Amino acid sequence: MNPRRATPFALALLLLAGACGDDDGGGSIAPVPAPTGTPTPTPTTPTPPTTSVTQNAVATFDNPWAMIFLPDGRMLVTEKPGRLRIVTTTGTVSAAVAGVPAVAFAGQGGLQDVALDPQFATNNRIYLSYAEAGSGGKGLAVARGTLVTDGTGGRLDNVSVIWRQDPKVSGDGHFGGRMAFSSDRRLFVTAGERQKGAPAQDLAQTLGKIVRIDPDGAVPSTNPFVGRSGAKAEIWTLGHRNPYGLVFAADGRLFESEQGPEGGDEFNLIEAGRNYGWPNVSEGNDYGGAPIPRHSTNTAFTAPLVSWTPVIAPGGMIQYTGTRFAGWTNDFVLAGLVSQGLVRVRVNGTTASEVGRLALGARIREVEQGPDGTLWVLEDGARGRLVQLTPAR
């Protein structure tokens, strides 16, 4: 009951008390105590999301492609011509790490991604994806080795190739090459369709696929196409074009981003055995404007959660788990090559939407979160800078 509003019953009691008087014969009404409820707190205004940053360029590289932080706070940075560097946050760049496999550097191919073994703290093992030349042309490959560092750089020992895309084909585009480890130590690798289109739908080839392998390259028996006649057992999903982003979210789900043709860049929830449609369907058109059927025309294909036309040309991708960037926590942050900045996507259950962009004025190839919650980006190109981003005050 509201203490400031009297009901008819309460008013009757007050009138009765006035007629009878109290024991001292004064005939007055006893005062009503003041309300003692807890005051309503003043609502707080949410902090607006970060929309501007300070850029601090610390180093420059020759066609950088990927980076990852080491446990000691340094970074590993790949350069497409085939060099792996150890870099400090103040910009000290090592000599090239020795022992990196020979790469086929041309077009979109070269040394691509770098990933740390989930047990890196005890085994110092890293994984590299790269374009490899061989019989029939070129294809993606994944190698692993033990990183040994010294005062000037380091080397890779015990290097072995654990997976190769099959078949090798002509051309220098659409290698993919992004890697991510699941919580159960399975390695997921994005493999582009090498600008060939149709093989993305062929389970006998690993073009246009995401594959799932053990750290030594063995195929887990729980993969969705194990035992299917003619199918490559390492395939996890199919129907991909040029997938450049791959990240496990805090809730354990796997998300991927890939470049479409003329329009139709995608942000996808990746689930075992799903077919994402390329080249049969797309949210974009062929170069020159020829239409491609949309995902909505065929329910056999899994549609993206978000698509972009005009394109953003997504590169690397993370889920931001820090707090330095207000309003960004748990959002996915995509590096944008054509959009020249960062694109922020928010997932809500099984839906997602773009919630913001941060213009940086350069083609952004890669994005990573630093241990202190700041963001680091690699610019694309022959003199691509490593830049630390902090929220502007």
Residues annotated as catalytic (active site), given as ranges? 174
Question: Which tokens sit at 180?
Answer: 């991510």
Q: Which is nearest to 160 in space by CA: 179, 134, 141?
A: 141
Question: Which tokens sit at 153?
Answer: 């750089």
Are the beta carbons of 125 and 146 closer than 8 angstroms? yes
- Side-by-side strand order, sheet with 341-348: 314-319, 332-336, 341-348, 351-359
Q: CA–CA separation, 34 vs 136, rounded Å?
A: 89
Partners of residue 282 on adjacent β-strands:
none
Residue found by looking up tokens 């007629």 in the block: 19
- CA dihedral angle for residue 91, residue 96, residue 98, residue 103, rounded to 10 degrees: 120
How distant, in Å, are the alpha carbons of 92, 150, 386 from that of 89? 8, 17, 9
Q: CA–CA separation, 262 vs 265, rounded Å?
A: 9
How distant, in Å, are the alpha carbons of 71, 174, 241, 260 from that of 195? 37, 6, 8, 11
Strands 384-391 vs 375-379: parallel, antiparallel or unpaired: antiparallel
Query: Any idea what DSSP says for residue 202?
Result: -
Are the beta carbons of 258 and 299 closer than 8 angstroms? no
Q: CA–CA separation, 339 vs 385, rounded Å?
A: 17
Q: Please report, as a single letter, which amino acid is at residue 154.
A: G
